[in-house]
Amino acid sequence: MDEVPGREVRHEMATLTKGTANLDLYRALARQLRADSIRSSTAAGSGHPTSSLSAADLIAVLLAGHLRYDWSRPDDPANDHLIFSKGHASPLVYALFRAAGAITDEELMTFRKRGSRLEGHPTPVLPWVDVATGSLGQGLPIAVGVALAGKRVWKAPWHVWTLTGDSELAEGSIWEGIDRAGHERLENFTAIFDVNRLGQRGPTELEWDLDTYAARVRAFGCEPIVIDGHDPAAIDDAFARARHAGRPTVVVAKTIKGKGVSFVENKEGWHGKALDAEQAKKALAEIGDASSRTFPTLKPDPWRPPAWPSPRKPELKTHTEPVATRKAYGEALAALGAARKDVVVLDGEVSNSTHAEDFKQTAPERFFEMYIAEQQMVAAAVGMQVVHLVPFASTFAAFMSRAYDFIRMAAISRANIRLSGSHAGVSIGEDGPSQMALEDLAMMRAVHGSTVLYPCDANQTLHLVALMADLKGISYLRTTREKTPILYKDADFRIGGSRIVRGGQKDDAVAVVAAGITVHEAVKAADQLRGSVPVRIIDAYSVKPIDAAALVDAVRTTGGRLCVVEDHWPEGGLGDAVLAALAEAGVAGEITGFVHLAVREMPGSAKPAEQLDAAGISATHIADAVRRLASARPAAARRG
Amino acid sequence: MDEVPGREVRHEMATLTKGTANLDLYRALARQLRADSIRSSTAAGSGHPTSSLSAADLIAVLLAGHLRYDWSRPDDPANDHLIFSKGHASPLVYALFRAAGAITDEELMTFRKRGSRLEGHPTPVLPWVDVATGSLGQGLPIAVGVALAGKRVWKAPWHVWTLTGDSELAEGSIWEGIDRAGHERLENFTAIFDVNRLGQRGPTELEWDLDTYAARVRAFGCEPIVIDGHDPAAIDDAFARARHAGRPTVVVAKTIKGKGVSFVENKEGWHGKALDAEQAKKALAEIGDASSRTFPTLKPDPWRPPAWPSPRKPELKTHTEPVATRKAYGEALAALGAARKDVVVLDGEVSNSTHAEDFKQTAPERFFEMYIAEQQMVAAAVGMQVVHLVPFASTFAAFMSRAYDFIRMAAISRANIRLSGSHAGVSIGEDGPSQMALEDLAMMRAVHGSTVLYPCDANQTLHLVALMADLKGISYLRTTREKTPILYKDADFRIGGSRIVRGGQKDDAVAVVAAGITVHEAVKAADQLRGSVPVRIIDAYSVKPIDAAALVDAVRTTGGRLCVVEDHWPEGGLGDAVLAALAEAGVAGEITGFVHLAVREMPGSAKPAEQLDAAGISATHIADAVRRLASARPAAARRG
């Protein structure tokens, strides 16, 4: 890499005392970080002290010499960002907060105890934690998202730092992240690889082969800086160079697990294990003077993000002709992009299919092509919401499953992200099962605090996407490949709502609960049944939360005759959601007949209409089910 | 790389006519592959002809000059393996089968039509297809698994070839695979990168930057061979070198999307689009002579896998003292390893936590350390079952979510794999939510044809793991971190079964359905309730398929009073499974009271018992729920 001009290095140094005094400060801080990591984990009786010790020197130099962060104002938009991708080094995280004066020693000692903010792995219940980590290989890709937002949207002065373990470098997601940082030339991004050679159960694959790590980093487009991770001067120099390199950097640091405590240093069998009281005493004696105090840190230069005009209400057109809901998703994004500056859109190299490309035309500077790397796509969305953007991320619904661990963790991060999966269900037709999401509703329902939406027409889609922009938590919109007819011209949609699209009278004999593509099949079935069976068709576009009141009313009106039809496997989707809602409302006992039409056999290739029919979820099958339900003796199934 | 001795190259050539005649044959075959790719996709009206054309020369040379495969005997264990990681190049796959004489021209023209084996993306409904592909970035990691089994278990002579697109090289899973191939020195593995520069919506990230691809391949431990992917002589040489390189290789081939048809060559907007009849006519004229015929191919040298002794019944001990079910999982694996040679075990660098390490002691040669790369772990398991091994793969249950797309695709591959997730639920205690699987039951229930098991004691675990060895499809075992008491001394467990652990009499007033850790809480609740409320505790250890008969009996006996308690989010787990089973059995209407105890708030850190209590799923909460249910007026919730 280019030589870093001395001037820039001095910029760092100027804020602290110069020369060896500085190194002494780093060493003192490292001692305290080590001692506090041991004290807190020993008090807890669990935790990862040895994984903390290996990175103590790296973090000491970062905290005292390079991180620009106002610890009294974690919401200062000028602050740097520091994400521990190795979240299990939480003793070190909290020791850092203690040294920065952010928490007291008393709180430090609550580590891992019930009710404490200092959880086993860091989460944003602490104001200085951007995102939850602990599932390895996620913090770095999320940090890339923060850096992307900083560079491309905010044009902010802050730098993003992320500390990884070496075990997690085996995760492909790390390389998706390094690749993205490299391709986007994120000069505001620095990863620190804490290469301590030992994983949970023994040596890592590459152990101390720093050259190979460096070669990988370089091949993926970032600049490696290889150092001894226990030499404060070398670390200091590396971080100064990293901040001013003008390109994304990775500090590849050779470290020793358990460094500083002779009897655990570089030893197997010490991962995720606290020292007992006796061992801790011995360890603290070895570490030496480490009085628990607050260290001086660097504040950021004052900076305010650009002032944006207040968000306007997006202008949504009203369709009259059949349009695919995925197309309407793109239109809604474009409208949002025009109406507010905080909306950003990410897509996994399928924006011409998901129609996220419509947004790109409106706001190209806020569109992020993530290529076929769904984990990085979701991670980047999580990173962007850290800095108050409103991300929407899309790919085929089937491929959202690639990022499920990231979505799960996003909920723990209390992240506000919006996902859209297109090409859901068998109705995609000829492409076959690999492209059909048939488990996405189950997957997304089982995310804590999630919202799951599945519109059936373009106008409904437009309004739901507009609502998503202001939703908290993880929201998911399932869209359909095929054009679908227009059912609605109004805007009467809400999270937790539903619509009655046929029937709705007191004499409805059977209720059909559908969503998305099956609403149209149900409508066709109702048309077939006209004059024979009065049927109520419920469009349950809000799959979670589901409209329990509408379901209860349907059960009571029809004498408990219910058909649920969905383009999804039988498990975990609309059928399960309906039954759970009825059971919770205490009216499961009023069900007298229940038919669940869902995809039960592995599909192959066929035209969309053929697929729906083969899966048993087409109008014909719905009409048959309704007839069976209507003709069954009332309460036939009720005994007791 | 080392020079390949001429002798070895000649070994390839000797089987065919030498010199330019050979190249002419390759060219003729490439013409046919191109023509057939266009003919079939145009007849289908959809598909990916241009993605097929870019790889036609590569596949022609492979088929006619290097692949050793008896097309009349796809089950010949001596056959090479060829996996199209770019599954969307299915027109080329089927054109290859046509050229090999495996299918007729008539069948070729059924591409993508209902009922045809020639689906939009290849699946193993065709005997020459090892696994389903179509979710990018999966075929290569699976091929690594096949090669691992070939090298380390079978010591087989066959070579594994896999063709990737360049778009999918953005997936981290590709690099997990290349890394694994490199680390395991899989000299029987060759990947072919078809670098045609264009993805679905436009240029790929690296376009034709072959040097960067080569640098990445090298840094990840494989040998790159960079060639012009349209030069038959260069391809021929590369494949000969690859087969005999003595190390894992990647042929990085510069190609042109749509090659051979001037008006689509290297053009955007032609991904996943069939030529219309007029365009196809013009294209076929350009391609020239391409009469559809069968080409000579190479058969493998005869080889039989080693004869193994018949599997014995595993010797399972009977525990009497509390043992963690994860520990019993390890013991069962070890017993299986001793009893049969076909069992292989993979783990994601946590084998000391999942206890998969117990197997390593019994059969180290059949234990595969996959490091922290869960996608590759599941992919390798899928690859190993292709060659008739019986893989078990384990990690923390929470991290199975990392591989969900691979699990979903494994079902489409009709793969038989066994997964085990440890440390499920809040009961893990202090580590906090990132390590707690609370969505795994939902995720695994929604896999087509899956079996989901959740044992509560060690003896039950031993027997269920033994049953898993002979199960078809995707099976999943959820285990618990903490030691749990022994409830069973017998072997009366079956897929689809359940056990009554308390009550079971005609006067049971309330039934509690539990599984895993909550069985023990329910037992404690029953003990608390002794003398006040007669309660039936059902251990629903088979979550899918669930024991519907036992549930129906419980509903009828108790007058419809049911409590389900699970260490999982409310969605998609045991509660949903119970309701769905009752609804399907037609007895939902007999539910008079239903309480669903599940984890509803985001947990933090706390001791296991504190976590269970805070989540509302401990004995106290169960006893309260039972009392409420018992005291409610019969049929209180039943109106109609």
How far, CA to CA in Å, does B445 sit from each of A18, A119, A150, B440? 61, 30, 40, 8
Tell me if A566 sits within 8 A of A517, measured CB to CB: no
Candidates A210, A413, A452, A571, partner chain B, best to mutate (most B CBs within 10 A): A571
Q: Which residue of B has its CA nearest to A447?
A: B439
How far, CA to CA in Å, does B350 sit from each of A101, A271, B184, B455, B519? 36, 11, 19, 20, 26
**DSSP collapsed to 3 states, A174-231:** HHHHHHHHHHCCCCCEEEEEEECCECCCCECCCCCCHHHHHHHHHHCCCEEEEEECCC
Using CB atoms, pick whichever of B201, B583, B636 lies closest to residue A352: B201
**CB < 8 Å to B435, chain A:** 120-121, 134
How far, CA to CA in Å, does A156 sit from each of A305, A391, A398? 7, 18, 35
User: Chain B: nearest CA to A62, how far in angstroms?
Assistant: 26
Which pLDDT belongs to residue A618? 98
- Within 8 A by CB and 6+ apart from A35, the residues are A284, A287, A290, A292
Which pLDDT belongs to residue B7? 34
Is the pLDDT score of A634 beyond 80? no
Candidates B125, B138, B176, B401, partner chain A, best to mutate (most A CBs within 10 A): B401
Using CB atoms, pick whichever of A350, A409, A560 lies closest to residue B200: A350
B298 in the Ramachandran plot: left (φ > 0), alpha (ψ -120 to 50) or beta? beta
Which pLDDT belongs to residue B634? 55
Using CB atoms, pick whichever of B204, B215, B448 lies closest to residue A602: B448
Task: Give the number of other Cβ atoms within 10 Å of residue B196's Cβ.
Answer: 28
pLDDT band at residue B632 using 50, 70 and 90 as cut-offs: confident
Which pLDDT belongs to residue B633? 66
> What is the mean pLDDT of the segment spanning A57-73?
98
Which pLDDT belongs to residue A1? 35
pLDDT band at residue B254 using 50, 70 and 90 as cut-offs: very high
Q: What is the pTM of this model?
A: 0.96
Strand order in the sheet with B561-565: B499-502, B535-539, B510-514, B561-565, B593-597
Provide the number of CB pairs (under 8 Å) joining chain A to chain B.
384
Is the pLDDT score of B5 beyond 70? no
pLDDT band at residue A633 using 50, 70 and 90 as cut-offs: low
Structure confidence by residue, pLDDT tens digits, B384-400 = 999 999 999 999 999 99
User: Chain B: nearest CA to A621, how far in angstroms?
Assistant: 17
User: Chain B: nearest CA to A613, how far in angstroms?
Assistant: 11
Ordered DSSP codes for A570-621: SSSSHHHHHHHHHHHTT-GGG--EEEEE---S---S--HHHHHHHTT-SHHH
Are A349 and B447 an interchain contact pair (Cβ–Cβ within 8 Å)?
no
Structure confidence by residue, pLDDT tens digits, B534-549 = 999 999 999 999 999 9
Is the pLDDT score of A549 beyond 50? yes
Q: Which residue of B has its CA nearest to A125?
A: B604
Structure confidence by residue, pLDDT tens digits, A235-277 = 999 999 999 999 999 999 999 999 999 999 999 999 999 999 9
Structure confidence by residue, pLDDT tens digits, B566-618 = 999 999 999 999 999 999 999 999 999 999 999 999 999 999 999 999 999 99
Token pair 């079996």 is found at B451
Catalytic residue status for B439: no
- Within 8 A by CB and 6+ apart from A247, the residues are A1, A185, A187, A222, A223
Which pLDDT belongs to residue A632? 86
Q: What is the ipTM of this complex?
A: 0.96
Structure confidence by residue, pLDDT tens digits, A327-362 = 999 999 999 999 999 999 999 999 999 999 999 999
Are B606 and A113 an interchain contact pair (Cβ–Cβ within 8 Å)?
yes
Structure confidence by residue, pLDDT tens digits, A147-169 = 999 999 999 999 999 999 999 99
- Residue, of A635 and B165, whose pLDDT is higher: B165
Structure confidence by residue, pLDDT tens digits, B428-468 = 999 999 999 999 999 999 999 999 999 999 999 999 999 99
Structure confidence by residue, pLDDT tens digits, A355-396 = 999 999 999 999 999 999 999 999 999 999 999 999 999 999
DSSP 3-state of B101: coil
Is the pLDDT score of A11 beyond 50? no
Which pLDDT belongs to residue B639? 33
pLDDT band at residue A17 using 50, 70 and 90 as cut-offs: very low
- Per-residue b or e along A539-552, where b marks 16 or more CB atoms closer than 10 Å to that residue's CB: bbbbbbebbbebbb
Q: Closest Cα to residue B325, out of B146, B75, B140, B519?
A: B519
Structure confidence by residue, pLDDT tens digits, B141-179 = 999 999 999 999 999 999 999 999 999 999 999 999 999
In angstroms, the CA B501 to CA B233 distance is 71
Q: Which residue of A has its CA nearest to B171?
A: A373
pLDDT band at residue B3 using 50, 70 and 90 as cut-offs: very low
Ordered DSSP codes for B30-62: HHHHHHHHHHHHHHHT-S-HHHHHTTHHHHHHH
User: Chain A: nearest CA to B427, how far in angstroms?
Assistant: 13
Are A399 and B216 an interchain contact pair (Cβ–Cβ within 8 Å)?
no
Is the pLDDT score of B236 beyond 50? yes
Q: Which residue of B has its CA nearest to A396?
A: B135
Is the pLDDT score of B117 beyond 70? yes
Using CB atoms, pick whichever of B433, B445, B590 lies closest to residue A639: B590
> What is the mean pLDDT of the segment spanning B311-318?
96
Task: Give the number of other Cβ atoms within 10 Å of residue B185's Cβ.
Answer: 14
Cα angle value A183/A187/A193 (rounded, 5°): 85
The percentage of chain B sitting over the pLDDT mark of 70, rounded to a whole number, equals 95
pLDDT band at residue A290 using 50, 70 and 90 as cut-offs: confident
